Structure 1
Amino acid sequence: MLLIDLAIPIGLYYLLRAAGLSYQASLVISSLVPGLSATTDLARGRRPDGLAVFMTVMMLLSFAVSLISGSARFMLAKDGWLTVVTGVWMLASARTDQPLTFPFARLLLERRVGPGKQSWDVLWRRAPGFRRIWRVCTVLWGIGLVLDAVVRVVMAYTLPVDVVPGLNAAQYVVFLLLMQVVTNLYLVPAGLYNPRSRVYEFDPEVPVPDSHPVR
């Protein structure tokens, strides 16, 4: 999915530019590639990949605005504007019932970390330290996304147009690797990977939860 939704659109953009198409036409055509995976899933009766749907919808919205502004720069800055919205949304979720990093981390780590492969529903409801870890991680990622967005918007409006798509793709890789390092520099000393850590201590005043999972 990443190959289709990220790498192929970037390669197609440069092929179209080499063929002599304009900035806007190349951006629009290459931006429709992520929609192919969503369309294929729908045709097969499967739920479309969330990444494909998200990228397709936002690309089409960006194209609609670009028809009004006529600006290739705006389309290039689209990643930055979407990233800052995501970062602000993530920061706002830090104090909600479920900060945004929790469900993503759960897909990868539940029953792989913690004492006795404990359900994360139980940990979330009964362990204050466990909840605090994901609130802090959400703030870290929110700040990182906002900073990442600033760089993307600055690049879109200051660098040569044909340079920006490639740099945007490379920045995704650099950003994810950097945030993994930052996140684990917090998670390791915080005790997430230590099953005997105080992170997993239950609050005795919180009753054992029912069987309904956190959603």
Structure 2
Amino acid sequence: MTTNTVSQGQSSNQTPSALDNLRPLIVDVAVPLGSYYLFKDAFGMGTFAALAWSSVVPAVRTVWSVVKEHRTNGLAGLILVVNVVSLLLSFVSGDPRLMLAKDGAVSSTVGIGILVSVALGRPMMTAGMKPFLVKGDPKKEAAWQRLASGRAAASADFLRKERTFSLVWGVALLAECVARVVGAYTVPVDTMVWLGGVVMAGVMVLTFLVSGGLAAGPMEEMLRAEAEAEEAATRNAVAVAA
């Protein structure tokens, strides 16, 4: 009886909650981006100052991961790189077309970072996708761990879909970069000012649909099937033991 209680307690401790799943996304992405707009719009800081101050959290997180945890924090590092690129580009002024193309350059930095993470076998977009698939469900969290570790029958397909999700986003962001840079130098400036936002919104919507259909949707089904299979196996084991 005591053994069962301890085992259940350990299992509970090892199962991340919804907040645990969302924390990396919140700290590494939402806080830096949110603080940039807060400093710029609410506090009236210039672009350079807002970018510099919003880089503090990802910089600390990146250094902490390297020094204390002996690994790199992909999300924090990527946001830091994007901010540094934006800081460098913010020195360039006087050419409205170059300033319009700057946003495309930032998108390409993110896209390249995502593609590199796929090549290294650590798809960066997983941190943002996982919470929406697991939804804080302990059974789905356990199913994710089995699928991701290669211990489940569908692991190979699951891992391919995981890589595909990040791959779609990396390619989409690079394509968006090309479209915005080309537009910045071929479309009238007044038109491109609003068209750039439309292009970005269109790419985001299309990428959500494509990545969902090719990867996130099938992965969610695999998680459900794996969780149900494990639950059925547990019931059978209990029935046999009884």
If the length of structure 1 is used for normalisation, what is the TM-score?
0.60
Aligned residue for 2:134?
A: 110
Aligned residue for 2:11?
A: none
Q: Residues 47-196 of structure 1 correspond to what in structure 2 (within 5 A)?
A: 56-64=83-91, 66=92, 70-112=94-136, 116-118=140-142, 120-126=144-150, 127-187=155-215, 190-196=218-224
**Cα shift at 1:148:** 0.8
The CA distance in 2 between the partners of 1:129 and 1:113, in whole Å, is 22
If the length of structure 2 is used for normalisation, what is the TM-score?
0.55
Contact 1:113 1:193 in 2 (8 A): no
**Cα shift at 1:150:** 0.9
Of residues 70-79 and 119-128 in structure 1, the stretch that sits farther from structure 2 once superposed is 119-128
Aligned length: 177
Opposite residue 135 of structure 1, the aligned amino acid is R
**Cα shift at 1:61:** 0.9
2:89 match: secondary structure: helix
Higher RCO (CA < 8 A, seq sep 6+): 1
The CA distance in 2 between the partners of 1:135 and 1:114, in whole Å, is 23
Larger radius of gyration: 2
**Cα shift at 1:53:** 6.3
The CA distance in 2 between the partners of 1:200 and 1:153, in whole Å, is 48
2:220 match: secondary structure: coil
Q: CA RMSD in A?
A: 4.1
Deviations 1:170-199 (A, max 9, x none): 333222211111111213663523545479
Percent of aligned pairs sharing the same letter: 24
Opposite residue 54 of structure 2, the aligned amino acid is A
Aligned residue for 2:10?
A: none
The CA distance in 2 between the partners of 1:168 and 1:4, in whole Å, is 23
